Amino acid sequence: MVVFTNLEDMRFDGQLVLAIGTFDGVHRGHQYLLEQARARAREHGLAFGIITFDPAPALVLRPETTDYQITPRELKIQLLSALQPDLLAVIPFTREFSMLTAKQFVDILERCLRLAELWMGDDFRFGHDREGGIPYLLERARHAEFAVHVVARQGAQAGAAGVSSTAVREAIRAGDMEHATELLGRYFELSGIVVHGHARGRALGYPTANLQIPSQQIKPASGVYAGIAELPGEQFAAAISVGTNPHFDGSETTVEAYLLDFDRDIYDQVLNLKFVRRLREQARFETLAALLDQIATDVERTREAIQPLLAR
């Protein structure tokens, strides 16, 4: 696989079936499109390529946007690489890049690559002010040597092509992790460096790992979740808290995880959390004893939900 991070630097000897999109989430709809394009390439003895953009354009065009991106760059590359493209271009989406016209963008593709087919979803837009779309590409293809294939959005029961990044975000923001899992085809996950918190969990007998999460990264609704915590080569059941810790009058949203059957210092390490199920909303308790009883219940429910998954 050849990887590029600059549009102008792209070069590839063979003819390409090229899929283009932001692919935030690399959800089941994206997977359907990409697998169809890959099958087409393999069927006709052509190379398979993917061009994607990072971060999500909305974060650049609307800088005030937060709580939005589903897949950070590293995870997106990992998921797209698993599809075994011959060429993968992860282009930084910047203000300067957003000023390219639709014509300039396609001109670069034609100049740098030997295009056989372009594949995209039916909502694909590109170029300055989103001026380019399917009609423009179809018109360009009439006078070029490449064809355009548009994958129409369908219902989830028709192969998952109807799944959208917007639907995934709505499920995550609602804390509906079962639905998010269905849309993504995998558990939603967050990764971050473990940083020092207020040490309240340790004082209560449940030390938690506090994750440093970028503001642009989408986070589940406030609540307590059963999930899987991952360190290199290791997995643990984890009771995950997302929110402001109302029992302690917190104001800042945090993501912290209590790893079951775990007792190590992992400060400054990267911890990955997979969200499996929401257990409850965050709550303020009348007494410390009531809080401790609820935490014990959360931990036991997490064990029941996650241990069978880890035993597979």
Q: Where are the beta strands (DSSP E) in the chain?
A: 2-4, 15-20, 47-54, 87-92, 114-121, 147-151, 188-195, 209-212, 223-231, 234-243, 254-259, 270-280
Average pLDDT, the chain: 92
Rounded CA gap, 113 and 15, in Å? Answer: 8
pLDDT per position as a tens digit, 12-57: 999 999 999 999 999 999 999 999 999 999 999 999 999 999 999 9
Q: Is residue 97's pLDDT more than 50?
A: yes
In three-state secondary structure terms, 272 is strand
Q: Whole-model pTM? A: 0.92
Q: Are strands 209-212 and 188-195 parallel, antiparallel or unpaired?
A: antiparallel
**Buried b / exposed e across 272-306, counting CB within 10 Å, b at 16+?**
bbbbbbbbeebeeeeeeeebeebbeebbebbeebb
Cβ pair 170, 51 in contact under 8 A: no
- Name the residue type at position 80: L
Q: Is residue 157's pLDDT more than 60?
A: no
Mean pLDDT in residue range 219-231: 97
Rounded CA gap, 88 and 126, in Å? Answer: 18
Q: At what angle do helices 177-184 and 28-43 cross, to 10 degrees?
A: 10
Domains identified in the chain and CATH numbers: 2-167 (3.40.50.620), 188-310 (2.40.30.30)
